[in-house]
Structure 1
C-alpha cells in the first residue's frame, strides 16, 4: 500500500530543491524515500553495467541525479575524485555478494540490481544541499569525504553521503590534493591506530615494517610513523625506492632484487608489521616480529570477501572463520598478535 506525504527534509541551492516530497512505502517494513522537484534529473558519471575489465566502464550524461533519502545526508558537488585499488577490485565484482547486503534496497529495487553502478570512493567538493538534521555543514562549505563501497560512488558530478562520512576540507589543501587522501588515510589509520594501538606517545623508537610501501596506504603509513618517531622499513619495486626514502623511510628494500624474505630476515625483528601485499607473505612475515613482546601483524588481505564471493555469504563466512581463526590461534602460540583488517571497508 502506498501513501504519500510532503514535508521539508532538506535545504540547499540546487534550483527547486528546498521542498522535497516523501513517499512512505508500507509493506513488511516502512521506509522513507525523499524525491526532489529540482529541474536537473540526470548528470554525467562513469558507470559499469556489469562486472568485468576496463571495457565495462561507460561514460554517460544520463546517470540519475542523486537525492537525499534521509535528513542526516548531504549532497556534494564533486570537484575532484581519485581511484583506489578497491575501485579496480569492485569493477571486477570483488565484494558484490557482501556489498549487496549493505546497499540500500530502495536503490537496488529501482533497477532490479545494483547497476548501473558508479565507482569511486574519494571526493573533494562543495556542499550543495543538506538534510534538516545536518547542523555541522551548510551549502557552500568545501568538504572532503570517503564514501563507503556499498553506496553509489564519486566518479560523477554529484554524490550523496551521510554527514558523518564528511569533514571540512583543510583550507591549505587543493581539491585535487584532498581527493587523494580520505580512503587510504582512513585505511592506514584504522590499521595502525585503531587496530594496532600505535599512537604518537608510544611510537618513538619502535621498529615498523610496511610490506608494499609505494601504494596510497603505504605512503601515508610511512609518513605517519616517521612523524611519530618510529623506525620504518618498507618494501617496493626499484622505481619507488628513492621516492619512499624521500618520504622518510629509514630502510627501503627492493623486493625484486632478491628474495624479500631473505633480505628482511637479515634485519632486526619488528614491533609491528603492516601487510598490504598478502599472499605468501603471511607465511614468513610473522617470523619477523619480536616474539612475546606484544608485537602485532595487521594484514589488509583477509579471505572473508573472496570467500563470500566464491562460496556465498553463509559458506563464505564459515570458511573464513575457520581460516582466520586457525591463523590467529597459531600466531598466539608463537607469541604474536595477528589481525585481519577487512580490506573492502577501507582500502
Structure 2
C-alpha cells in the first residue's frame, strides 16, 4: 500500500482525503517513480471543483474521473518496464502527467517513458516539481501561438503566477522587450526576473499604451477583449492562456470575430504535452536563463492547506507539496 491524496467528489479542498491505496504497478512501457515533490496549478482547482462545468465533460460529469489528482511531479525511478530504454532505476526525472491520467499526488506513480525527462541537474526536487505544466504552457504559447521574435514588444498580463513568471523569463530569453502587469506587491520581483517595464494592474491607465504591443499574453486578471485589441499594433497577436471564465469564453468565441477587418489576431491556446519541449526547458534552466519560483512548500499532511492557499491567495510562482524525503 502507498499513501495518496484522493478526491471522489467535486467541491472545496475539504473533499480531499489522505488514503492508503494499492501500490501502482508499471506496464512494460512505464516506469515506477517515487514522487519526491508535486506542484499545484490553477488547473488543479478546476478539477477539484468541477468548474467551469464544461470541464466535467473531459474529467467526469458527476464525479472526478481520476481519483488521485496532480500533474506536475519530480522524483526518482524505482523500477522500469522491460520495454523502457531511456531511463533506469536511480535516475532523477520530472514530468507533466496531465495527458497521462494524473496521479502525481501519491507516494508512487507509474509513468509512460514518453512522458518523462531528466530533472535539471541544478534543481532540487522541490524546485523541479514547479516546472513542467507552467513552463510548457509559457514556452509553447510564446513560441507557437505568439511566434515571438527578438526585439518585439510583449505585454504579459498576470505575470506573477506560475505561467507568468516563466513567460517573463522565456520572453526575455527570446530577446523580446517585456512589459509585465501584476499587483503592486510583486513589481519588484518582476524587475528581478528581467521585465523591462512593470505596471500595477490596479492603477495603470491602459489607454496610454494603445497600439504599443506586438503581442499580448493574457494569463491572470481580466480586461475586456476590446481593450486588449486596442493595446496591439496593427499586426499584433493576443493569446489567452488563463484567467477568468469570462476571459476564456471571450477569447474562444469572440476572438476571431473581434479581429475582423484588421490584421490583428486574437484567440486562446492550450498546452500540448511534448517531452522534447520539456528537455528544451531543462537546457534553459541548466544554462541559467530561466528558473522556477516557489511561493510556498507544504508538507504532505498539509495538502488541504496547500490547495486552500492556491485558491485564496495570489501566489508568486508555484505552490509545492513535499511528498517524500
**For the residues of structure 1 that align with 2:254 and 2:38, how far apart are their CA atoms?**
39
User: Structure 1-normalised TM-score?
Assistant: 0.71
Stretches of structure 1 lacking an aligned partner (at least 5 in a row): 1-41, 102-111, 308-319
**1:306-329 alpha-carbon deviations (Å, 9 max, x no partner):** 99xxxxxxxxxxxx7x98354213
> What's the offset of the Cα at 1:301?
3.9
Contact persistence 1:145–1:165 (CA under 8 A): yes
**For the residues of structure 2 that align with 1:306 and 1:149, how far apart are their CA atoms?**
24
The alignment status of 1:299 with 2:234, answered yes or no, reads no
- Among 22, 34, 39, the alignment partner of 1:77 is 34
**For the residues of structure 2 that align with 1:304 and 1:281, how far apart are their CA atoms?**
12
Stretches of structure 2 lacking an aligned partner (at least 5 in a row): 275-317, 319-325
Q: 1:132 to 1:306 in 2, by over 3 A?
A: farther
**For the residues of structure 2 that align with 1:171 and 1:128, how far apart are their CA atoms?**
18
Alignment of 1:109-128 (within 5 A): 114=64, 117-128=67-78
Instruction: Tell which structure's C-alpha radius of gyration is larger.
Output: 1
> What's the offset of the Cα at 1:90?
1.1
Contact persistence 1:297–1:339 (CA under 8 A): yes
User: Structure 2-normalised TM-score?
Assistant: 0.75
The alignment status of 1:97 with 2:57, answered yes or no, reads yes
Contact persistence 2:251–2:266 (CA under 8 A): no
> What's the offset of the Cα at 1:337?
1.2
Question: Does 183-192 or 71-80 show the bigger shift?
Answer: 71-80
**For the residues of structure 2 that align with 1:171 and 1:274, how far apart are their CA atoms?**
30
SS of the equivalent of 1:290 reads strand
Alignment of 1:136-285 (within 5 A): 136-148=86-98, 151-198=101-148, 202-203=149-150, 205-256=151-202, 258=203, 260=204, 262-263=205-206, 265-266=208-209, 269-277=212-220, 279-285=222-228
- 1:57 corresponds in structure 2 to 16
Contact persistence 1:208–1:231 (CA under 8 A): yes
The alignment status of 1:67 with 2:10, answered yes or no, reads no
Equivalences, count: 272
Q: 1:79 to 1:301 in 2, by over 3 A?
A: closer
**For the residues of structure 2 that align with 1:323 and 1:222, how far apart are their CA atoms?**
21
> What's the offset of the Cα at 1:267?
6.1
